[in-house]
Amino acid sequence: MDVILLAELAINGVFVGLMYALLAAGIVLIYKTSGIANLAQGALAMTGAYVVVMLAGGLGLSMWLAIPLAMAVMFLVGALIERVALRRMIGQPVIMVIMLTIGLEIFLRGLLPGLFGASVKRLDLGIPNAPLFLGDLLLSRALLIGGGVSLALIVLAILFFNSRLGVIMRAVSDNQTASWSVGIRVERAIAIAWGLSATMATTSGVLWGATQGVDWSLSLLLIKALAIAILGGLDSMVGVLIAGVLVGLAESMATGILDPIVGGGTRDVVASVIIVLTLLLRPHGLFGREHIERV
Amino acid sequence: MKLTRRKLVAGTALAALATQFPVRMALAQDKQVLFSFPQDFTKIYTFVTSEYSQGQRDYISLVNGRGGINGYKIVAEVSDHANDQPRAIEAYERAKSQGAVLIDPLSTPVARALVPRVLEDKINMITAFSGRSDAADGTVFPYVLPMSPNYWTQAGLLVDYFKQQDGGSLQGKTICFVHIDTPFGKEPLPIFENLAAREGFTFKAFPYTPPGNDQSAIWPQVRRARPDWTVFWGAAVGQTVALTEAVRNGLDMSRVSSSVWLSESDMDVVGRDQTVGVMKVEPCASGRDPKVIQDILAEVVGKGQGAGPEDKVGTSYYNYGVMMAALMLEGVRRATEIAPDGPVTGDWLNAGLTSITDFTAEGLIPPTTVTPEDHQGGGMGRIARWNGEKFEPATDWYQANQDVVWEQIHKYSAEFKATGK
């Protein structure tokens, strides 16, 4: 096996994994606050990217104005989803809430391409596509920058959970009734979590949109994000970071090593195998907290 | 107004129902020919359908606006099947009950599902750039008509062009084939493999998982295989990602090519300047220069009767739609000449479609001859290169390696005849 090729696949895999991890971090953010796995996170990333395309392409704003504006819009969208849909589900079984997020995913996946057209849209961040060689090793500038930005944002999210607001969110996650009793505005904390999660999804959508273009397929990132969140532990930001690297590496190496042997198609199998194995062997993931309920 | 859950559900149901109603393009006439165009506007083929359908509808408007064909007007029923087979079958049965004599589903899985029905009902099904490649064999598939170069032919054209460019020999060369890992993506494999054995080149295939939005681990392998020529074969986001990765991996764009599924909008996504030199197979001319496109601009779009945005007129996929509508209507013209008083049935139109001879749609398409035996129409196409603004023809219309292509067509059609699969 070609060592340079393996090194190239490994490096690309790590950075791709970090980009997946950013989306997974949004899932963890909501789970840590409200105990709900948001299965609409992929569609939120797609929505955020469409909003950027609309602001930059449709209204002619500069990309560097369109992106923060889209993040602000998506913060409101996230908070609105919590206010209009999720809050009405208080008291309903968790499975119904998860079903609601699946419904939201399907709704957005149909609505956005319908509104903005189904063809792939360009999202140009000005990252040159020209190859970047380190000796014989080729690195992708888009992946390096995307992975770097994702890493920085995930580290920020880890630090956020040690801030005052972050501690409030953790308290809400641990026990909503107890949080209410000490004066924490639980609904507000959850709404902020949804807003922040939608903002992270937008960043992820922009980074992936710059890599592949913007269309409905951005919502498929959910599967990778879910695999990472489950492997890392649904309530662990550090877990997301490490699991992202592991999943990215595993996918990339599987494509390079297993595809030529089995004839292709192993990339997506990796994510599903990781989800199944983690749930069977270590349901709380590598770094998640194990919840024991008294029955 | 307060949005209750009941209102939301009712609104969604209404919206879903609304998409089921077809758009009638011409008022019912005493003498009319009904076409059914249930296509995928909302799921997988979204990258092509709106432009393709726009081209079809504009061409039909052009002909109807000139009084129709020998006294017959064309009515086209357009609806959305969302690449969903039950919905497509429902649309087909509805069209059949209304007297449709032609259906164009523009979807490989839908076309495959409809083959037994159209053969039994004797309704002509158009499967341009989709469906079964072996449907070119009209003796086995009398009512399935691709009328365009199938994927095997496209692969054959590409290999022949590579050979021409390399001084008449591919001996010792390497061709890499990056394809979506679906039946559509795998379809040209036997042609490449056969031609590799015959021409002496090394053939390497690199499948990627659909839809192909991450191919970052595939292209480093392609680059390190040091290909003389690279062909990428997918659709929608898979195409733009493939091309982006080819650029990022420093491949020479003048030695990278694709099938018919590459358009101007793909170049916009990747970057018009970065993809100069990349090739595709053209089944018809692109752009607004062809006379028929000029006529549409003057007589349909210019009068505010266009079926879609004016800036899409003349794009590759728009022209594919015009091409197919022109062939269908030429079939109607021939049918009216063979049997001027009808009756308008699937067989009536089939006789017309299978007698199309050297038809060029006034220079839009290569000379196309459809016979009861050859439903492909001759298998002519050309190679075009992207120049940063548009696709420019790199060759004249030609056909190549049809012996290998027809070997495959006969092999698979015989299998269908024997097993029904």
pLDDT in tens, B270-308: 999 999 999 999 999 999 999 999 999 999 999 999 999
**B12: closest chain A residue by CA:** A107
**CB-CB under 8 Å, A12 with B217:** yes
Residue A143 contacts B where some CB pair is shorter than 8 Å: yes
- The whole-number pLDDT of residue A90 equals 79
Cβ <8 Å between B247 and A129: yes
CB contact under 8 Å between B237 and A213, yes or no, is: yes
Predicted confidence (pLDDT) at residue B388 exceeds the cutoff of 60: yes
pLDDT for B279 equals 98
Q: Say if A217 is an interface residue toward chain B (CB within 8 Å).
A: yes
Closest residue in B to A13 (Cα) is: B217
Contacts of A256 in chain B (CB under 8 A): 217, 220-221
Given A5, A117, A218, which is nearest B224 (Cβ)? A5
Q: Nearest-CA residue of chain B relative to A9?
A: B217
A contacts of B46 (beta carbons < 8 Å): 113, 118-119, 216
Q: What is the mean pLDDT of residues B69-81?
A: 94
Mutate which of A1, A96, A124, A212 to disrupt the B interface (most B C-beta within 10 Å)? A212
The residue in chain A having the minimum alpha-carbon distance to the alpha carbon of residue B208 is: A265
| Mean pLDDT of the B109-123 span | 95
Question: Which residue of B42, B208, B221 is in closest CB contact with A5?
Answer: B221
Cα three-residue angle B180-B183-B187, rounded to 5 degrees: 90
Residue B10: pLDDT band (50, 70, 90) is: low
Whether B209 and A268 lie within 8 Å, measured CB to CB: yes
Is A214 within 8 Å of A117 (Cβ atoms)?
no
Q: What is the rounded average pLDDT of the residues B316-325?
A: 96
**Chain B interface includes A267 (CB < 8 A):** yes
Q: Which of A252-261, B144-153, B219-228, B352-361 has the lowest mean pLDDT?
A: A252-261
Query: If pLDDT is split at 50, 70 and 90, which confidence band does B5 have?
Result: low
Mean pLDDT of A84-99: 88
Q: Which residues of B touch A (CB under 8 A)?
A: 3, 41-42, 46-47, 50, 181, 206-209, 211, 213-214, 216-218, 220-221, 223-224, 236-237, 240-241, 244, 247-250, 265-266, 268-271, 274
Long-range CB pairs of B329-334 (<8 Å, 24+ gap) are B329/B59, B329/B60, B329/B63, B329/B69, B329/B74, B330/B356, B330/B359, B330/B361, B331/B124, B331/B356, B331/B370, B332/B33, B332/B69, B332/B72, B332/B74, B333/B69, B333/B70
User: Strand pairing of B256-258 and B144-145?
Assistant: unpaired
- Helix runs in B264-395, H state only: 264-270, 291-296, 316-338, 346-353
pLDDT of res. B236:
86
* DSSP reduced 3-state for B172: coil
Architecture of the domain whose range is B5-149+287-380: 3-Layer(aba) Sandwich (3.40)
Domain ranges across chain B: 5-149+287-380, 151-282+383-407
* pLDDT, tens only, A239-293: 999 999 999 999 999 988 888 888 777 887 888 899 999 999 999 999 988 776 6
Which residue in A16, A86, A120 has the most chain B C-beta atoms within 10 A of its own C-beta, making it the best mutation to test that interface?
A120
The tokens of A61 are what?
A: 């704003």
Q: Which of residues 241-260 of A touch B (CB under 8 A)?
A: 251-252, 255-256, 259
CB contact under 8 A, B214 and A143: no
pLDDT at A159 over 50: yes
Which 8-state DSSP code applies to residue B72? Answer: B
Please tell us whether the domain made up of A3-281 is placed in CATH 3.40.1350: no
Distance CA A213, CA A218 (A): 9
**Which residues lie below 8 Å from residue A205, measured CB to CB, with a gap of 6+?**
A44, A45, A46, A47, A48, A49, A52, A214, A218
Domain B151-282+383-407: which topology?
Answer: Rossmann fold (3.40.50)
Residue type, B62: L
**A208 vs B208: CB contact, 8 Å cut-off?**
no
Measured between CA atoms, the residue of chain B closest to residue A10 is B217
Rounded Cα distance, B323 and B126, in Å: 12
* Contact residues, chain B, for A117 at CB < 8 Å: 50
Strands (E) in A21-154, as ranges, are 132-134, 137-139
DSSP symbol at B299: I
Quote the minimal CA–CA distance from A220 to chain B in Å. Answer: 9
For residue A264, list chain B residues with Cβ-Cβ distance below 8 A.
181, 206-209
Is pLDDT above 80 for B129?
yes
The beta-carbon neighbor of A9 closest among B211, B213, B217 is B217
pLDDT digits (tens, 9 = 90+) for A31-78: 988 888 999 999 999 999 999 999 998 899 999 999 999 999 999 999
Give A-chain residues touching B218 at CB under 8 angstroms. Answer: 255
Q: What local confidence, expressed as pLDDT, does residue B28 receive?
A: 44
- For the cut 70, the answer to whether the pLDDT of residue B402 exceeds it is yes
Q: Any CB–CB contact under 8 A between A218 and chain B? A: yes
Domains B5-149+287-380 and B151-282+383-407 share a fold: yes
Asked if B42 lies within 8 A of A113 by C-beta distance, the reply is: yes
Per-residue pLDDT tens digits for B158-184: 999 999 999 999 999 999 999 999 888
DSSP tag of A257: I
Residues 151-210, chain A: which have Cβ within 8 Å of B?
208
Q: Is the pLDDT of residue B16 over 60?
A: no
A122, B268: Cβ pair inside 8 Å?
Answer: yes
C-alpha–C-alpha distance, residues B251 and B245, integer Å: 9
Among A4, A114, A265, the residue with its CB nearest the CB of B209 is A265
Q: Report pLDDT for B26.
A: 45
pLDDT at position A290 is 77
Nearest residue of A to residue B46, measured between CA atoms = A118
Please report the ipTM that was assigned to this predicted complex.
0.87
Q: Is the Cβ pair B237, A114 closer than 8 Å?
A: no
Q: How far is B240 from chain A (nearest CA, A)?
A: 7
Give strand pairing partners of B34: B75
B18-62 confidence digits (pLDDT tens): 444 444 444 444 589 999 999 998 877 888 999 999 999 999 999
Cross-chain CB nearest to A12 (options B209, B216, B237): B216
The answer to whether A232 and A288 are in contact (CB under 8 A) is yes
Tell me which residue in B208, B237, B250 faces A212 most closely, judged by beta carbons. Answer: B237
Residue numbers in B near A84 (CB within 8 A): 3
Which pLDDT belongs to residue B213?
87
pLDDT, mean over chain A? 91
- As a whole number, mean pLDDT of residues A208-214 equals 92
Q: What is the pLDDT of residue B124?
A: 97
How many cross-chain Cβ pairs, A to B, lie less than 8 Å apart?
113
As a whole number of angstroms, the distance between CA B376 and CA A213 comes to: 34
Q: Give B328's DSSP letter.
A: H
The pLDDT of residue B19: 44
First-to-last alpha carbon distance for chain A, in angstroms, is: 54
Per-residue pLDDT for B8 more than 60? no
The pLDDT score that the predictor gives to residue A1 is 64
The H or E element that residue B159 is part of is: helix B151-165
Question: Is A99 touching B (CB cutoff 8 A)?
Answer: no
Angstroms from A135 CA to nearest CA on chain B: 14
DSSP string for residues in B333-368: HHHHHH-TT----HHHHHHHHTT--SB-TTTTS--B
Does B213 contact A124 at a Cβ distance shorter than 8 Å?
no
CB contact under 8 A, A124 and B271: yes
